[in-house]
């Protein structure tokens, strides 16, 4: 898992910049000696390193959409959003917003973690062995899932 995120040029821009209102130091620096992102003040680097480790420990689901669908179904049932699945895609609201709102009930971000691990596995199954090499729309969605996880872990 560490190799998938190693010294990424895009991870911070796509996942962390959207959280810059919480922690202003959103840029990541790769520490070649310690083989992780360098922890800095007011940065998500430590949380990113921990998340990468955690993602490496979980068994990725074959169908990560099941975990994401569970979050969307929570939004329908508990927040009364008028969203529905059409041809395999959720419509009626921005997908990342659906996952973010559904994630508020996701204990320890379990569904989000499994969704991220499943997305990484799907990328690697397609020989996209690094975050920077992912197909662009899937890369953006994985970045959003990572941002949502970090946001929920830092929310009061």
The pLDDT tens digits for 7-19 are 999 999 999 999 9
How far, rounded to the nearest angstrom, does the alpha carbon of residue 104 sit from its chain's CA centroid?
14
What pLDDT digit, counting tens, does each position of 20-66 carry? 999 999 999 999 999 999 999 999 999 999 999 999 999 999 999 99
Beta bridge partners of 80: none
Owning domain of residue 139:
2-154
Measure the CA–CA gap between 56 and 121, rounded to whole angstroms: 11
The total number of structural domains that make up the chain? 1
Q: Which two tokens stand for residue 155?
A: 């929310």
Q: Which residue has the tokens 């662009």?
A: 136
Which 3 state secondary structure label does DSSP give 155?
coil
């Amino acid at each position: 898992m560490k190799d998938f995120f190693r010294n990424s040029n895009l991870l911070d821009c796509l996942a962390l910049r959207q959280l810059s209102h919480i922690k202003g130091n959103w840029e990541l620096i790769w520490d070649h000696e310690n083989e992780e992102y360098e922890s800095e003040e007011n940065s998500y680097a430590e949380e990113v390193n921990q998340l990468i480790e955690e993602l490496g420990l979980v068994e990725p689901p074959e169908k990560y959409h099941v975990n994401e669908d569970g979050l969307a179904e929570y939004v329908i049932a508990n927040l009364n959003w008028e969203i529905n699945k059409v041809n395999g895609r959720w419509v009626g609201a921005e997908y990342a917003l659906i996952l973010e709102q559904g994630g508020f009930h996701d204990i320890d971000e379990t569904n989000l973690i499994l969704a991220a691990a499943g997305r990484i596995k799907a990328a690697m199954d397609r020989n996209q062995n690094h975050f920077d090499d992912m197909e662009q729309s899937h890369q953006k969605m994985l970045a959003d899932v990572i941002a949502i996880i970090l946001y929920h872990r830092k929310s009061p």
